[in-house]
């Protein structure tokens, strides 16, 4: 009986896991009292702020800095649409993990999926569409360098 490592389920699973890890950025965040409502739960709008921070740090980790992008190229990302699905509540002093995955990059828009977890349980998901605009607030195609950085990190998307 012949056995091929390349065809084994373990090897295939490891490849899939590696691919997923390359395509997902993780950002830890602690919940402070300023993030909560009167019940001590994360106020829903703060999930949007948490997701924004995670996207910013994700981009920064691959060499894309918002301030430099605006100053040097006159370009910026704005949220075109956002869908937030709250499944459970974060609470004061929880450590949350925000995972960011860039699903699609092309033209003027970027599609992003994000999940917020507490102790490995998903408590919120977001689907965000970003648009690239210039200093006159007009939509512009993504700079080739910018698109390549995203595609290199997240794979061909």
| 10-residue averages of pLDDT along the chain (157 residues) | 59 54 86 96 98 96 91 94 97 97 91 96 97 95 86 72
pTM of the model: 0.81
State residue 47 phi and psi, 5-degree precision.
Answer: -60, -35
According to CATH, the superfamily of the domain at 25-154 is: Hotdog Thioesterase (3.10.129.10)
Report the pLDDT value the prediction gives residue 145, as an integer from 0 to 100. 85
> 151-155, long-range: CB within 8 Å, 24+ apart, which pairs?
151/105, 152/62, 153/22, 153/23, 153/62, 153/102, 154/22, 154/23, 154/101, 154/102, 154/105, 155/19, 155/22, 155/23
pLDDT score at 6: 59
Distance separating alpha carbons of residues 122 and 138, to the nearest angstrom: 36
- Dist CA 26 CA 9 (whole Å): 26
Bridge partners for 28 per DSSP: 97
Residues with a known catalytic role? 37
Return the CA Rg of the chain.
Answer: 18
**Helix and strand tally (H, E) in the chain?**
4, 5
- Per-domain residue ranges of the chain: 25-154
């Amino acid at each position: 009986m012949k056995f091929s490592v390349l065809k084994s389920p373990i090897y295939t699973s490891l490849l899939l896991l590696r691919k997923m890890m390359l395509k997902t950025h993780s950002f830890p965040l602690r919940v402070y009292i300023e993030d909560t409502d009167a019940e001590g739960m994360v106020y829903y709008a703060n999930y949007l702020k948490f997701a924004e921070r995670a996207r910013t740090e994700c981009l920064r980790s691959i060499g894309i800095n918002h301030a430099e992008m605006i100053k040097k190229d006159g370009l910026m990302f704005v949220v075109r649409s956002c869908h937030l699905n709250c499944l459970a509540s974060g609470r004061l002093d929880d450590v949350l993990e925000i995972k960011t995955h860039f699903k699609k990059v092309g033209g003027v828009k970027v599609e992003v999926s994000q999940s917020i977890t507490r102790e490995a349980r998903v408590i919120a998901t977001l689907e965000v569409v970003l648009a690239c605009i210039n200093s006159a607030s007009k939509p512009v195609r993504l700079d080739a360098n910018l698109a390549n950085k995203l595609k290199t990190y997240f794979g061909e998307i």
